[in-house]
Amino acid sequence: MRTRLVLSLAGALAAAAVLSAVAGASKKPPAPLAVQSASLTQDGQQLAWRVVLAGRFSAAGLARDHRALCLLIERPKSGTVSGALCLEAPRTGRGADRLVYSRVGAAGAGRVLGVAATITRSGAEELTATFLPNRFDTAYHSVRWQVESVVQAAGCVPASQTRARCVTMFPARPALAKLHTPKLVGCVPSGQSLVYSGSPTVHDIALSFDDGPWGTPPTTAFINLLARYHVPATFFEIGDQISEYDPTGSVQRAMIANGDMIGDHTWTHPEMAGLPASEQSSELELTVQAIRHATGFTPCLWRPPYGDISPSLVALARSLGLLTIMWDIDPRDWSLPGVGEIEGNVITNARNGGITEMHFGGGPRYETLDALPDIITTLKARGYRFVTISQMLGLRMIYK
């Protein structure tokens, strides 16, 4: 059964990978390219597939010679093939190489789909591809794998006398990749220490909220609404309020699980610039500790209450591993101007790299909550992509 599945898979994926006929006659019968080494490992949210062949290769060359190089994904218990990732040359002959994926079932290989992957080459014999596993599995559980090197040309030479077709497998028996659900534990501050907005050339916008967690409405109302619209946001929290409004940390963990980002908004919400350096440090560090205790996540962003900053405060925050995040879109929702006024302000002032400053605490924030659906649908219709501030700044996330 497994041999039939792999054979049908190779045929289906060869149709996607082979972009042109073999040019000219070969001087000697083609044989599968030998695999010297290969691995499949997890790096945070990403999986990394590395393969080293015995000779130089390229995606275009594989296609030209009717070859395919694939990573077979196999069920851990039965060892049957559930799908495969294969290297493919760019369709137009230009651009970067890519990966394609096909599921495999009892009826054979399914539709070939593109995979968002980063492909790097440290040499002509080596390839490393990193990708999220959501194409072939939405959960991070262990899988077995093998690399399949195939040639489908007339007169090809089988890899061994025991094989009836021109394919080599590495390793000879499926290897086990032990995967686990990645847990976000931190982020790495980089770039400018003081940020007002993102890139003006990228059609992104970041929703951010201050002064929570809170109870009117409950912070979960914001989290659930954003999740329904598949929009991430950044929440800047007051440390002293965490024990009252989220004593178990479940609300903050839900933020992270939904792809939101958490930032530091000081312990008591003071005007920070006028405080002694020791008190500034305490305000920031106590909140970092409270967030870490509740979630296991150490933030690398903070927002000054009232926008009150000084160069020395920005430098102090950076020394503590925190970027100072300001804003360039302010609907002044704290003054309760009405749902329409909040909507109109954000929509009118939206721009590439824009960062909003709204509130999910510090008072009744029903107007802000009710304004979000129209803000989101209108800006999505205008082509904006909603991102967290850490995504906007390209910060590296730390997982374990």
Q: Is position 333 annotated as part of the catalytic site?
A: no
Contact yes or no for 300/288 (Cβ under 8 A): no
Q: 303-317 as b/e, with b when 16 or more CB fall inside 10 Å?
A: bbbeeebeeebbebb
Spatial distance between the Cα atoms of 147 and 340, rounded to a whole number of angstroms:
57
Look at residues 298, 253, 317 and name the one whose alpha carbon lies nearest to residue 399. Answer: 298
How many CB atoms are closer than 10 A to CB 236? 28
For 208, the 3-state DSSP assignment is strand
Q: Is position 210 annotated as part of the catalytic site?
A: yes
Active-site annotation holder among 66, 265, 269, 359: 359
Q: What is the dihedral of CA 284, 288, 290, 292, to 10 degrees?
A: 180
Spatial distance between the Cα atoms of 346 and 364, rounded to a whole number of angstroms:
19
* Tokens (6 digits) for 213: 């967690």
Phi, psi for residue 262 in degrees, rounded to 5 = -115, 135
Spatial distance between the Cα atoms of 160 and 82, rounded to a whole number of angstroms:
25
- Whether a cis peptide bond, with omega within 30° of 0, leads into 217 is yes
Spatial distance between the Cα atoms of 338 and 182, rounded to a whole number of angstroms:
41
Contacts of 248 (CB under 8 A, 6+ apart): 294
Q: Beginning with the edge strand found earlier in the chain, give each strand of the sheet holding 208-212 in spatial order.
A: 194-195, 323-325, 301-302, 261-264, 234-237, 208-212, 358-359
Active-site annotation holder among 204, 210, 260, 333: 210
Give how far Cα 23 sits from Cα of 26, 65, 153, 327, Å.
Answer: 9, 8, 12, 58
- The DSSP 8-state label assigned to residue 298 in this structure reads B
Catalytic residue numbers, as ranges: 210, 359
